[in-house]
Chains A and B, each alone.
Chain A
C-alpha cells in the first residue's frame, strides 16, 4: 500500500493554494452571491488558471489539456472546493461537459465548445431535473418534436443551477415515446440567449443562482445541436454520472473549516464544552474516512473496476459528513459573540457551509437513491 499522492500532486496543491491566496479576495464566499463582483472574481480566476494550463489539466493533450493523473485531478477538486470553488460554475464545463463533448460530440461541436471551456470563457447549466422528474429522471416530459431540419423543444426544467448566468444548456429531452422510458431521450446543446428560453430564479436558503426554473417555449434547435445519436441520450446521461461519481470534494471544505477552528477561536477554544470538542474530533475522523472513500472511488474508476455500490457508499458518507460537520461548526461559531471582527469571515464561511450542506443529501442523486444502489449491490453480490 502507498497513500502518498506523489510529488507532482503535492507541488500542484501548493501552486493552487498560492494562486488562490494571490487572486481570490480574503472574504470570498463563492461566485454565487448577490454581488456581481464575486462572479467576476471567478471569471478572472478561471482565465488565470487557463493561462497557466491548470483549468483543464485533466483533459487529453489533444484538446489542450495536460493528461493530468487522477490524483492531480483530485487535488484540483479538493483545493477548489475547500476554498469556496473560485472557478464558479465553470467546474461543470471542465469536469464533465467538455469530456462528454470530446467523447460524443461531432467535430464541429468539439471545435465550437471545447476551446471556450478550456479558456474559461463559458458557463454551462444542466437541463435534467423537472418538476415531475427528479430522482426518477427518465420520467421527464420536456419534449423535442421533429420540425423540418431540426427540432422544436417545449417543456420545463427545474433546480437548474447557474441558469441565469449560463451561455449554454446541456439539455435532456424526449424525442420519442418508446417501450422503456429510458429510450427515446436525446441530448441537445442549447444556447441560453434564445428568446424562447425563460429563466426564473428561485429564492432559496442556498443563496442566489443555485436554483432556477427554465422554460422552453417552442425553442427551435437544429440537428447540429444534437449531441450523440437521437434517442441515445440516456447512455450519455450515464456517462455524465460516471464523470460525477466523486463529484465535488465536500470533505475538503469540511476538513479545512474544522482544522481552522482552534486557531480562529484562539483562547475561546479551550472554553468550549468538552463534549463539543469531542464532536469536533469525531468529525475529523469522518473527514478522513470520506476522503479515503473518495480516493477508493477514484482508484477503482481509474482501473475500470468500479461498481455502482462503491461510489454510493462514498456519497452517503460524504453527504452525511457535510451536514454533521456543519452542525458542529455552527455550534462552535455560536460560542463567539457576533460582531467579533477576528471571526467574522469564518462565521460567514461556516454559515454558508451549513446552508449549502442542507442540499447535499438531495443534490446530484439523493441519499435514498445512493442507498438503493448500495443495497442492490450488496444483495446482488451475495
Chain B
C-alpha cells in the first residue's frame, strides 16, 4: 500500500503553489471578481508555464496525481480559473474542458471563460455548452446545452469520475488554506489577555475541522487511485459526499474562530468562503448528493476496501 502522492506530484504541487503566489496570489481572485472576463488572461499564462495542459489525468497515473496536486494548489489560492474542469476535458471530443452538472438546472462557474466546454450529468449524459447566462456570485452561470451522447459514465475512467474527483481536490486545497489561516489567526488574536489558541474551546473546534480535512485528504487520494476501476464512480461520489460535508464543518469552524474579521474582505477567509460555494453546491448540494448516492447504491454498500 502506498497512501500518498508520489514525490514528483507533490513537488509539482509545491511548484504550482509558488507560481500562483508569484503571479499575484490572493490578488488574482480579487482582480477576477472585478472583471470576470479577465480570468483567462490572469491565470492561463501561469498554467501554461506549469505545463498543466500536458498532464494526462485519464490514462497516466503520474499525470493524474500531478493533476490532483495542481488542483489542490489552485484551491489553496482560490485561483479564479476552472483548473480541475479544464484538466477533466474529454479526450474523445474536441473541447477544452468538462463540467459535471445537474440535469435539470445545469450551472457551472464558467462566467467570463471563452473556452469550449462539455457538460456531463452524474448519469453520464454529455452535452456541449453553447451559451452562458449573466455572471452570478462565484462566477456561476446557467448553461445552455446541446446534446452530445450518453457516454460520460461509459467506463471507469469516464468523464463523471474524473469530473467529480478533481474539483474535490480543489475544495481540499481551500480547506487547507482556511485551516492554515485560522491557526495563524488564533495564535495572534488575544482576548482576555491570552491568544485564542490557548482556550480549549477554541482548540477543540479546530480539531473538528482538522479531522474533516485529514479524512477528506485520504478519501480524495483513494478516489483518485480508483479512477479506472469498476468502482470509480461510486468512489468519486463517496468522496464528493464527504467533501461537501467536510467543507461545511471546516468553513463554519474557521468563520467562528476568526470572529467578525472573518467576514471582512480584508481577510482571505471571506474570499475563500464565498468562492467555495460553487464547489460545494454544484452539481448537487449535500442533501441532493446524499440522496443521489443512496439511490445509486440501493442495497449495495461501498465495496473496494472492505473486500
Contact = CB atoms under 8 A, between A and B. Distances in A.
Given A293-B218, A313-B210, A379 B302 contact: no
B137 interface: no
Given A1-B221, A2-B1, A269-B299, A291 B305 contact: yes
A69 to B, nearest CB: 9
A259 B222 contact: no
Interface string A264-290: 000001000010011011101111111
Given A285-B241, A285-B302, A378 B183 contact: yes
A382 B219 contact: no
B301 interface: yes
A292 to B, nearest CB: 4
A281 B290 contact: yes
Residue in B61, B210, B215, B291 whose Cβ sees the most chain A Cβ within 10 Å? B215
A293 B291 CA distance: 25
Contacts of A240: none
A4 interface: yes
Residue in B225, B242, B301 whose Cβ sees the most chain A Cβ within 10 Å? B301
B146 interface: no
B233 to A, nearest CB: 14
Contacts of A284: 238, 297, 301-302
A316 to B, nearest CB: 5
A299 B1 contact: yes
Nearest to B224: A1
B225 A2 contact: yes
Q: Is the contact region of chain A dominated by helix, strand, or loop, or is it mixed?
A: helix
B70 to A, nearest CB: 16
Interface stretch (B19-27, B103-111, B168-176, B201-209): B201-209
A291 B304 CA distance: 12
Contacts of A291: 305-306
Contacts of A382: 180, 183-184, 187
Nearest to B2: A2
Interface in B262-307: 287, 290-291, 293-294, 297-302, 304-307
Interface of B: 1-6, 61, 65, 179-180, 183-184, 187, 197, 200, 203-204, 206-207, 210-211, 214-216, 218-219, 221-222, 224-226, 238, 241-242, 245, 287, 290-291, 293-294, 297-302, 304-307
5 contacts: A281-B290, A289-B215, A292-B219, A296-B3, A317-B214
